[in-house]
Chain A
């Protein structure tokens, strides 16, 4: 049965639009066999009325959003805007005061382990054991995520992320760029369907930062993974995100594609939009 919305006025010999889309996707899948045809018919992330209160402090104030499968959603906001709190609740590290979170169809409140097996997370603020080698760290997380053919997966990641030269070195002896690549490898060990990245390029030089961003873009295109990206790097958000949620004082104060936000605020770059919102200095121009 075709999905609703099929144009009945199409000519008889004309391929209906939905069939054309499916045919195009099939062709794309044939050309690029690593791309799943349709990963999931549902939103990868669905957040409804999410609230977190610490005593008198309202850290997250009833936010709702969805992340379609295969999208990259940016969380933008100043310090204390609620980005990390939101990510922590998505990961089940933090219990919401109210609201619901569904990741890949699993209710995080009731069935978080089923979702966690298909998610992963990377943050420069959460370390990997420094005395373990890169390979040992990846082995630990491979077991925690019950990755099949683990040694093969580690070898794949080592080749993809250029870890081979230091795979047997303790994680604590690596440079910031190398550590970021290892953290990425850890976050991809289970080939996640949803990847949560908290400032993935913080403290990296521009060259390494660009390498990481390019790599993530390529990975998303190949795997169809959904990425939620919290960042203070506006250029990064502009480049990578299909949609941006602007957070302030725990609320989503605006959202849209990076270009739509620029247009709405009449600005050249997202940093200016960010400052407009953070300092209440300019309102969006109504569409």
Chain B
């Protein structure tokens, strides 16, 4: 292993060792996605039962697809934010930041943990949807991988924004880790197309990579067509979002070193 890879692994090992020993932490990872799937799964079943048409079944599938893919974004974001906050809560950041771990290696370790946390969190919900509601997310085909990648990048961009705010404002900004992404949900067209939104707020939706992914998902589910233009737009916007978030993180990290916030963080 090269030095950089070993340092990234070192920080990931710190979190994996924690999960290995704590079943409540593991349970917490998949608890909310499974709960969401139960609620929306029963809702979709009820709608299909009452309306009894194939259109209702298709709408139900779009609903469940939206729930699952939104969880990908949410869990990716929380995977980064909470892993960072775990370091803060254990008052361990002082040791981490005086080691030779580069800031980008710290971010790489957080992203690695985010992928693991997201997989552990979302996979049971995907299996639940397949077992109980006859909804197979993998039926979307290989394009699902591109949807996942885009949603994860968007989650990471928001997470880096949250971490930047924590670096700036300390533990007072922690609450944002749980709530900030929900603020983007109404504009992300998770359960409905962007055309449903009032014209005045549609521009907000179109600058979010998530709205393009969800439009793309509905295209595949409802029309059986992959809208490559939507995917290209999502990728393009993600480059801008993650680039801006990385710059913000780098700036706030430097400012934290100017203010001496790295040692006192978490207090």
Do A94 and B102 touch (CB < 8 A)?
Answer: no
Report chain B residues within 8 Å CB of A123.
94
Contacts A117-B100, A127-B91, A144-B100; is A88 near B260 (CB within 8 Å)?
yes
| B179 close to chain A: CB less than 8 A | no
Q: Which of A88, A95, A113, A128 contacts B100 (CB 8 A)?
A: A113
Contacts A95-B257, A95-B258, A140-B10; is A126 near B94 (CB within 8 Å)?
yes
Report chain A residues within 8 Å CB of B99.
116, 141, 144-145
Do B92 and A127 touch (CB < 8 A)?
Answer: yes
Q: Which of A93, A143, A144 contacts B260 (CB 8 A)?
A: A93
Do A93 and B257 touch (CB < 8 A)?
Answer: yes
| A70 close to chain B: CB less than 8 A | no
Number of A-B contacts (CB under 8 A): 97
Do B7 and A144 touch (CB < 8 A)?
Answer: yes
Q: Mark B214-258, 1 if CB is under 8 A from A, else 0.
A: 000000000000000000000000000000000000000010011
Report chain B residues within 8 Å CB of A162.
none
Q: Mark B3-37, 1 if CB is under 8 A from A, else 0.
A: 10011011101100110011000000000000000
Q: Mark B80-119, 1 if CB is under 8 A from A, else 0.
A: 0000000000111011111111100000000000000000
| B263 close to chain A: CB less than 8 A | yes
| B262 close to chain A: CB less than 8 A | yes
Contacts A95-B258, A123-B94, A144-B11; is A131 near B100 (CB within 8 Å)?
no
Do A140 and B14 touch (CB < 8 A)?
Answer: yes
For residue B53, give the distance in angstroms from its CB to the closest CB of chain A.
52
B-side interface residues, number (CB < 8 Å): 31
For residue A194, give the distance in angstroms from its CB to the closest CB of chain B.
11
| A49 close to chain B: CB less than 8 A | no
Contacts A121-B95, A127-B90; is A132 near B14 (CB within 8 Å)?
yes
Report chain A residues within 8 Å CB of B95.
121, 126, 128, 141, 186
Contacts A116-B98, A142-B10, A146-B7; is A88 near B263 (CB within 8 Å)?
yes
Report chain B residues within 8 Å CB of A141.
10, 95, 99
| A139 close to chain B: CB less than 8 A | yes
Contacts A88-B263, A93-B260; is A126 near B10 (CB within 8 Å)?
no
Residues of chain A at the chain B interface (Cβ within 8 Å): 54, 84-85, 88, 91-95, 113, 116-117, 119-121, 123, 125-133, 136, 139-146, 186
Q: List 29 A-B contacts (CB under 8 A).
A: A84-B263, A92-B98, A93-B97, A93-B263, A94-B257, A95-B254, A116-B98, A116-B99, A125-B94, A126-B94, A127-B90, A129-B90, A131-B21, A132-B14, A136-B13, A136-B17, A139-B10, A139-B17, A140-B10, A140-B11, A141-B10, A142-B10, A143-B6, A143-B9, A143-B11, A144-B10, A144-B100, A145-B99, A146-B6
